[in-house]
Amino acid sequence: MRCRFAPSPTGYLHVGSARTALFNWLFARHHGATFVLRIEDTDASRNQPELVANILDSLRWLGLDWDEGPYFQSERAGRHNEVVDALLDRGQAYIQDGAVRLRVAEQGTVGWDDVIRGRVSFDRSHIEDFVIRRSDGSPLFLLTNVVDDLDMGITHVIRGEDMINNMPKQLLLLEALGVDREVWYAHLPLLVDEQRRKLSKRYGDVSIESYRDRGFVAPAMTNYLATLGWGTADGVEIRPLGEIVQRFELAAVNKSSAFFDLKKLTHFNHEYIRAMPSADFAALAQPFAAAFDLTALPASYLADIQGRTQTLTELAPMIDWLYPGEPPMDGDSWAKAITANPVANAILDGTLAAYADCEWAKDVLHQRLAAVGEAHGLKLGKAQAPVRVAVTGRAVGPPLFDGLEVLGRERTLARLRAARHQHGPRLAKDSRDAI
Ligand code: GLU
């Protein structure tokens, strides 16, 4: 058995196309079939190597390897013309105004048993004699697609449902070519957005590469794509790819459109990130953490961050205050925890004093700040707020005291002092003594 993924290069791999590629790959791996990759680049504007490179990269990133190809349709123009000429010779096609048209008999129906949709048929009287080669000499996609499938011995055509409307003409072509070999067709359901509209074509919304850049990890993406139109009776959706291969059945694919749900994908991503060994996490996350060396973080801190990371882009705001230089400062956090906080000065001063020479360990830092808060009748959460903002630049983030331990005394005190200077013109007496 042989199946194929046959993208028309657009410069990126659309999530819908990626799902088609995945289902072909799952089918091939499940049945031990051959997975062929063919680039449908006959349209001159698509015949550009850089448009293809991105598609191949995205397929590799998803872990979808192919057994044959990539074949390029544009290299097979001679063969496509040979087929058109043969149809002309046999009188099955004729020339009108320079274009070649296939003769279509007017009676009966043309149809097929779709693996996913069951019997689909069209009335022949609705199909006019259609163009198979334009007057400029270029064969139509309808024809090149069919001829290539035939020549490449494809037994299973698994593709998007947008190709259904081409089916009657393609079947008529096969009939004219005298093909009686059995080919199975499976048209996959459309991907839709929340409003059940066809997904956009905006690169940032739908390209696999943009999901990678937005911090999605490949196994989560692949697993999520597998759930778009397919599932198992037990309802388990997150499972290793090997198990998906084992259970995948083309006949179990749904025919109703599938909602591409970013929230759900994010949930899958979070689960995959949480479950991976922390060395893998550090390696995958490193490109999202600038030059800061993630492996330098204490293991427990790294593990905590890993558990919170839904997408790898969320990592930087959790740790960028540890990077060399000044911390970023979020204006709203500053306004709330410092400017509008009547006890901010007292807490910052108290903390400066309390941290001046204590042991630099998270438990001690915790106790010391709690004591500063108590002295002002504040619970830890309230007491911690101005310190967190002064040191990390944000009101929320991973556990503060673990982070302070990593940042070190010198940098922590410098930031507390800087915040104190920026907020109040004068330091209170107790902190001046302390520094
Ligand atoms: N080249 C077509 C596309 O990218 C797919 C054709 C097919 O799978 O038969 O939409």
Give the nearest ligand 1 atom to 158 CA.
8
The structure tokens 């911690």 sit at 384
Pick the CATH number of 201-275 from 3.40.50.720, 1.10.10.10, 1.10.1160.10, 3.30.300.30: 1.10.1160.10
pLDDT at 433 over 80: no
pLDDT at 283 over 50: yes
pLDDT at 280 over 60: yes
Give, for ligand 1, the residue of 163, 183, 199 to mutate: max count of ligand atoms closer than 8 Å to Cβ.
163
Domain 331-433: which topology? Answer: Arc Repressor Mutant, subunit A (1.10.10)
Give the nearest ligand 1 atom to 141 CA.
1
Per-residue pLDDT of 134-175, as tens digits, reads 999 999 999 999 999 999 999 999 999 999 999 999 999 999
Spatial separation of the C-alpha atoms in residues 27 and 249, rounded to whole Å: 7
Spatial separation of the C-alpha atoms in residues 253 and 230, rounded to whole Å: 5
State the pLDDT confidence band at 428, using cuts at 50, 70 and 90.
Answer: very low
Rounded average pLDDT over 231-237: 95
Residue nearest to atom 6 of ligand 1 (CA): 6
Spatial separation of the C-alpha atoms in residues 241 and 426, rounded to whole Å: 62
Asked if residue 148 has its Cβ within 6 Å of ligand 1, the reply is no
Please give the residue that has the higher pLDDT: either 420 or 107.
420
Asked if residue 7 has its Cβ within 6 Å of ligand 1, the reply is yes
Q: Report the range of poorest mean pLDDT among 87-101, 289-303, 377-391.
A: 289-303
Superfamily of domain covering 2-192: HUPs (3.40.50.620)
Residue 389 contacts residue 429 (beta carbons within 8 Å):
no
Give the nearest ligand 1 atom to 166 CA.
9
Q: Give me ligand 1 centre to Cα 426, in Å.
A: 70
Residue 240 contacts residue 211 (beta carbons within 8 Å):
no
Asked if residue 6 has its Cβ within 6 Å of ligand 1, the reply is yes
Give, for ligand 1, the residue of 27, 145, 190 to mutate: max count of ligand atoms closer than 8 Å to Cβ.
145
Per-residue pLDDT of 49-69, as tens digits, reads 788 999 999 999 999 999 999
Asked if residue 8 has its Cβ within 6 Å of ligand 1, the reply is yes
pLDDT at 434 over 70: no
The three-state DSSP-derived secondary structure of the chain is CEEEECCCCCCCCEHHHHHHHHHHHHHHHHHCCEEEEEECCCCHHHCCHHHHHHHHHHHHHHCCCCCEEEEEHHHHHHHHHHHHHHHHHCCCEEEECCEEEECCCCCCEEEEEECCCEEEEEEHHHCCCEEEECCCCCECHHHHHHHHHHHCCCCEEEEEHHHHHHHHHHHHHHHHCCCCCCCEEEEECCEECCCCCECCCCHHHHEHHHHHHCCCCHHHHHHHHHCCCCCCCCCCCCCCHHHHHHHCCHHHCCCCCEECCHHHHHHHHHHHHHHCCHHHHHHHHHHHCCCCCHHHCCHHHHHHHHHHCCCHHHHHHHHHHHCCCCCCCCHHHHHHHHHCCCCHHHHHHHHHHHHCCCCCCHHHHHHHHHHHHHHCCCCHHHHHHHHHHHHHCCCCCCCHHHHHHHHCHHHHHHHHHHHHHHHCCCCCHHHHHHC
State the pLDDT confidence band at 432, using cuts at 50, 70 and 90.
Answer: very low
Q: Give me ligand 1 centre to Cα 106, in Å.
A: 28
Rounded average pLDDT over 75-80: 95
Per domain, the residue ranges of the chain are 2-192, 201-275, 278-322, 331-433
Q: What pLDDT does 335 receive?
A: 95
% of the chain at pLDDT higher than 90: 86
Q: What pLDDT does 180 receive?
A: 82
Q: What angle do CA 114, 115, 118 make, to 5 degrees?
A: 50
Q: What pLDDT does 425 receive?
A: 54
Please give the residue that has the higher pLDDT: either 105 or 344.
344
Per-residue pLDDT of 6-37, as tens digits, reads 999 988 999 999 999 999 999 999 999 999 99
Q: What pLDDT does 424 receive?
A: 75
Spatial separation of the C-alpha atoms in residues 338 and 194, rounded to whole Å: 41
Q: Give me ligand 1 centre to Cα 21, in Å.
A: 11
Asked if residue 37 has its Cβ within 6 Å of ligand 1, the reply is no
Q: Please provide residue 275's backbone torsions phi and psi, each rounded to the nearest 5 degrees.
A: -85, -10
Q: Give me ligand 1 centre to Cα 8, in Å.
A: 6
Asked if residue 163 has its Cβ within 6 Å of ligand 1, the reply is yes
Rounded average pLDDT over 347-365: 97
Question: How far from chain centre, in Å, is Cα 176?
Answer: 42
Exposure string of 357-372, with b = 16+ CB inside 10 Å and e = fewer, is eeeeebeebbebbbeb
User: Which region, left, alpha or beta, applies to residue 134 given φ > 0 means left and ψ of -120 to 50 means alpha?
Assistant: beta
User: What is the average pLDDT value for the chain, to the nearest integer?
Assistant: 93
Spatial separation of the C-alpha atoms in residues 239 and 229, rounded to whole Å: 16
Q: Tokens in use for 284?
A: 């995958």
Q: Tokens in use for 432?
A: 């001046």
Residue 312 contacts residue 288 (beta carbons within 8 Å):
yes
Give, for ligand 1, the residue of 159, 171, 185, 190 to mutate: max count of ligand atoms closer than 8 Å to Cβ.
159
State the pLDDT confidence band at 427, using cuts at 50, 70 and 90.
Answer: very low
Q: What angle do CA 257, 261, 266 make, to 5 degrees?
A: 150
Asked if residue 40 has its Cβ within 6 Å of ligand 1, the reply is yes
